[in-house]
Structure 1
């Protein structure tokens, strides 16, 4: 008895079609080249799903989502996903399909998003460098208050250091020095005054949609699976940059949309963990923005947990120092030595600030290195896509020459 034909995948989306095509190919085709293509595509989606699932598990159920360890894992996921994507592009039939519809439009969109991503990474590098200035100021405030014998002069120095962390809150006459040019070095050209992280993120997320569903009869159309790979990689890049902009106070971040930028189809393996992470970050972003606007304080423009801890400890310490200064004015105290009880309170707050500074310092340098690594990896991946897009014109010329000589052109696989 003849084997039954595979059930018709009518109405099935691309992600469902992938599983059907893979099983159908295994049964009916036995074409090693096409099976390699399908395996590479499946590996890309499975890898992205695994890394996002690990990120979702890493995020604490309570408390802030965006921390230095989380961002480090996120950028590492971008690096490894880029490697998986380049493994797909390394297959000759896939490279040949990049310049053919419908993959050509998706590839062009990915190239455009890559350029915008480089700008966001550049701005993030500037921000991370500027955080070092805030870290040094906070550490100065904590260190001078951990002296063996506290004097009022230590209090005044600590308050001046804290004023550099919150220049908008500084009283009249207390000015915050601008960062030096060396501190503000970036990966490429400096960010202009008119550059907007928010506008860049909105542009990156614009028109980000999965390939449209197609009838079953068109399932073998060229570029079908490659479109999924291009969409998946674009989604990973957009999500990662949105999370980075949410975490660090990039220039003109306020105009970025707080709503999640990626709406993956439910059939995608990585849809659930990405949607979960986006919802948690968006909710935290909304709470932070609401708290900052209602309090009227100069709340940080970023959600980075370690920087929030430094700011919170610095504000608590500054409030205590202001309270002590007001008491001294009321009592008209002329003694420079601080009382034992107040010394203990100040020391405890200073130790909390010093601990927050250590946590920020431990994760800041590794994250800066990863931002640079992602920057250069995106450049390399973009060059690979450009190389693939230039493949078809060369192949077309070769095919024309082969036809003239009577040699049949190479067979392209649908991908």
Structure 2
């Protein structure tokens, strides 16, 4: 899988494009001077092949890998790489961007990009929510692990944390909508100040969304539908009129929609819904792999035990399953504990520690990647609009 730097240090379009162009020219572009038509076609073909190769690897993930934290992080890694390659394609063809029908196609793409920013904000909220669940798992481990003997006090403490966690996950399933108790979004530093009094926060519930970055009425389902609205493969005349650039825009639009849809499928967020129109012509080299990922995730969402999940992330499913089992076990305990019962509890705690460690190791890097995706989308859109002479302030 490709690796990327998540410090927000990507070069501007011009300097980044030139550095890559010089490498490509050495490797395969023999003509000096300006890019000719065949070079444009080569760049677009290369871009589509790279999208196909990277999504082939993602689509080949086993049942245990799909929708895991590591898989989602790989998905975002691939998106960032595709985004950078797309920027290079735009750089090589920037003279065409303001001509019809390219001006309309690229404009529609940038509108989808704006909608993707809201999805990123909502996903960031969802990751913070899962982090709160992680903290409750930590309480359970502290209460039940490394104790010489397990008494009623430790069991009560663990039981309270488990109940809080179950209520939180159930609450998210039933509401599937976010309220906020902390003012936190991508453009701000994560200071210690929270929004509202502790009494207000308690009334809102422990497990609602932790950010005001999207409004209370915002819907992930509707946002995805809006992103997919009127998105169709370019017609033959559009491909010819743009020297194939319309195909690159459609490719990146499909990648953007799939990645945002997969994030909504995996992570808790407001009004989750996976019903979008996603139909890609089979003649695109990347169509099979991207369609396969879409179909596999949709299949997973229809499984009986996953239908009402607050998120399809593998670690969320493991957490919920483990919490229910542990809660039932603690309910059945009688004191003083027999050695056999105490051994059962300790065995369950060891299982929990594996899930907990995976969440602890994966959530912060995932959040950084989502943040980086957000900034890359903003930067790419700003550069594109500038090249069209339509900066953000002139829209």
CA drift of 1:378 comes to 0.3
Query: Are residues 376 and 153 of structure 1, via their aligned partners in 2, closer, same or farther at CA, if it must alter by over 3 Å?
Result: same
| CA–CA separation in structure 1 for the residues paired with 2:375 and 2:169 | 38
For 1:91-130, list aligned pairs within 5 A.
91=92, 94-130=93-129
| CA–CA separation in structure 1 for the residues paired with 2:162 and 2:84 | 43
Residue in 2 that maps onto 1:377 = 376
CA drift of 1:142 comes to 2.4
The answer to whether structure 1 residue 305 and structure 2 residue 304 are counterparts is no
| CA–CA separation in structure 2 for the residues paired with 1:320 and 1:96 | 67
Decide whether the 8 Å contact of 1:163 with 1:170 is kept in 2. Answer: no
Secondary structure in 2 matching 1:253:
coil
Normalising by structure 2, what TM-score?
0.78
Unaligned runs of 5+ in 1: 1-25, 172-177, 294-298, 329-334, 392-415
Residue in 1 that maps onto 2:51 = 48
The answer to whether structure 1 residue 322 and structure 2 residue 331 are counterparts is yes
Secondary structure in 2 matching 1:303:
coil
For 1:142-153, list aligned pairs within 5 A.
142-146=141-145, 147-153=147-153
Secondary structure in 2 matching 1:269:
coil
Query: Are residues 345 and 52 of structure 1, via their aligned partners in 2, closer, same or farther at CA, if it must alter by over 3 Å?
Result: same
**1:244-289 deviation line (CA, Å, top 9, x unaligned):** 00000111114x41x6x432211101001011111100000111xx
- From 30, 35, 39, the counterpart of 1:36: 39
Residue in 2 that maps onto 1:228 = 247
Secondary structure in 1 matching 2:36:
helix
Secondary structure in 1 matching 2:244:
helix
| CA–CA separation in structure 2 for the residues paired with 1:283 and 1:292 | 10
- Structure with greater Cα Rg: 1
Unaligned runs of 5+ in 2: 1-28, 172-177, 188-211, 391-395
CA drift of 1:389 comes to 2.3
CA drift of 1:237 comes to 0.4
CA drift of 1:129 comes to 1.1
Residue in 1 that maps onto 2:69 = 68
CA drift of 1:305 comes to 0.5
| CA–CA separation in structure 1 for the residues paired with 2:130 and 2:179 | 10
Runs ≥4 residues deviating over 4 A = 168-171, 178-182
Decide whether the 8 Å contact of 1:133 with 1:179 is kept in 2. Answer: no
| CA–CA separation in structure 2 for the residues paired with 1:31 and 1:168 | 59
Query: Are residues 32 and 64 of structure 1, via their aligned partners in 2, closer, same or farther at CA, if it must alter by over 3 Å?
Result: closer
Residue in 2 that maps onto 1:167 = 167
| CA–CA separation in structure 2 for the residues paired with 1:343 and 1:179 | 40
Decide whether the 8 Å contact of 1:72 with 1:367 is kept in 2. Answer: yes
CA drift of 1:363 comes to 1.2
CA drift of 1:291 comes to 3.3
Structure number with the bigger relative contact order (C-alpha 8 A, sep ≥ 6) is 1
CA drift of 1:362 comes to 1.3
Secondary structure in 2 matching 1:165:
helix
Residue in 1 that maps onto 2:186 = 187
Secondary structure in 1 matching 2:332:
helix
CA drift of 1:131 comes to 0.9
Decide whether the 8 Å contact of 2:166 with 2:324 is kept in 1. Answer: no
Decide whether the 8 Å contact of 2:37 with 2:243 is kept in 1. Answer: no
The answer to whether structure 1 residue 275 and structure 2 residue 291 are counterparts is yes
Decide whether the 8 Å contact of 1:123 with 1:186 is kept in 2. Answer: no
- From 233, 236, 255, the counterpart of 1:213: 236
| CA–CA separation in structure 1 for the residues paired with 2:160 and 2:154 | 10
Secondary structure in 2 matching 1:249:
coil
| CA–CA separation in structure 1 for the residues paired with 2:219 and 2:239 | 41
| CA–CA separation in structure 2 for the residues paired with 1:383 and 1:50 | 28
CA drift of 1:370 comes to 0.5
| CA–CA separation in structure 2 for the residues paired with 1:31 and 1:104 | 22
| CA–CA separation in structure 2 for the residues paired with 1:154 and 1:320 | 14
Query: Are residues 100 and 143 of structure 1, via their aligned partners in 2, closer, same or farther at CA, if it must alter by over 3 Å?
Result: same
Query: Are residues 115 and 170 of structure 1, via their aligned partners in 2, closer, same or farther at CA, if it must alter by over 3 Å?
Result: closer
Decide whether the 8 Å contact of 1:139 with 1:353 is kept in 2. Answer: no
CA drift of 1:219 comes to 6.7
Decide whether the 8 Å contact of 2:41 with 2:243 is kept in 1. Answer: no
| CA–CA separation in structure 1 for the residues paired with 2:138 and 2:124 | 21
CA drift of 1:196 comes to 0.7
CA drift of 1:300 comes to 3.3
| CA–CA separation in structure 1 for the residues paired with 2:169 and 2:48 | 47
Decide whether the 8 Å contact of 1:89 with 1:388 is kept in 2. Answer: no
CA drift of 1:113 comes to 0.6
Residue in 2 that maps onto 1:203 = 226
